[in-house]
Amino acid sequence: MKQPLKLAVLILSIAYPFLVYWGLQHYPAGKLLPLLFLLLGLRWVVGGQSFERSIVIAIIGALIVIVLVWGQQLGLKFYPVMVNLGFLGLFAGSLIYPPPIVERMARIREPDLSPRGVAYTYKVTWVWIIFFIVNGGIASLTAIWGSDEIWVLYNGFIAYLLIGILAGSEWLLRRRFINH
């Protein structure tokens, strides 16, 4: 039951900027807020660990404050910012409570990771932390000052492209680094 739900959350998360962009062209922002809270509720349900669920609760709280203080449309557009903050918390938390996320991912394919490999994954975890800070910052700028078109272009395409480039590059470098 959880796997189809996780897939639905992934698809809804990826499609979110496009759904919001389309929705804002046809409906007032308040009519779209249930989509946001449905997505967050589903994220909470599929969240495996209490730390993940705590991040979702924090995001829900922050988005409620944003909606109440700055309006419904900004609340809708701030979801990608909150996701970046959530991942920032997850990756930074993994440095406080090791092993780091990147090491966990590397050990799936390389269970006997060398000390050099472990050091490498620690550094890459920091790269991801910096990425989430920068990406979240840009996402917030597009939400606050960008047009709807700029917002959807960055958060629905460019950010995903950058994530793919970073993840793919890191994977290729890790393969090369670990093999040498």
Task: Tell me which DSSP letter residue 21 carries.
Answer: H
Q: Give the per-residue SS3 of 103-139.
A: HHHHHHHCCCCCHHHHHHHHHHHHHHHHHHHHHHHHH
| Whole-number pLDDT of residue 153 | 98
Per-position pLDDT tens, the chain of length 180 = 578 888 888 888 899 999 999 999 999 988 888 888 888 888 877 876 777 778 888 888 888 999 999 999 999 999 999 999 989 998 999 999 999 999 998 888 888 888 888 899 999 999 999 999 999 999 999 999 999 999 999 999 999 999 999 999 988 887 777 665
Contact 58, 40 (CB under 8 A): no
Spatial distance between the Cα atoms of 130 and 136, rounded to a whole number of angstroms:
10
Q: How many domains does the chain have?
A: 1
| Whole-number pLDDT of residue 96 | 93
Spatial distance between the Cα atoms of 122 and 68, rounded to a whole number of angstroms:
39
* b/e per residue 143-152 (b: at least 16 CB within 10 A): beebebeebb
Identity (one letter) of the amino acid at 102?
Answer: V
Query: What range defines the domain where residue 61 resides?
Result: 2-179
Q: What is the pTM of this model?
A: 0.88
| Whole-number pLDDT of residue 180 | 58
Contact 91, 125 (CB under 8 A): yes
| Whole-number pLDDT of residue 152 | 97
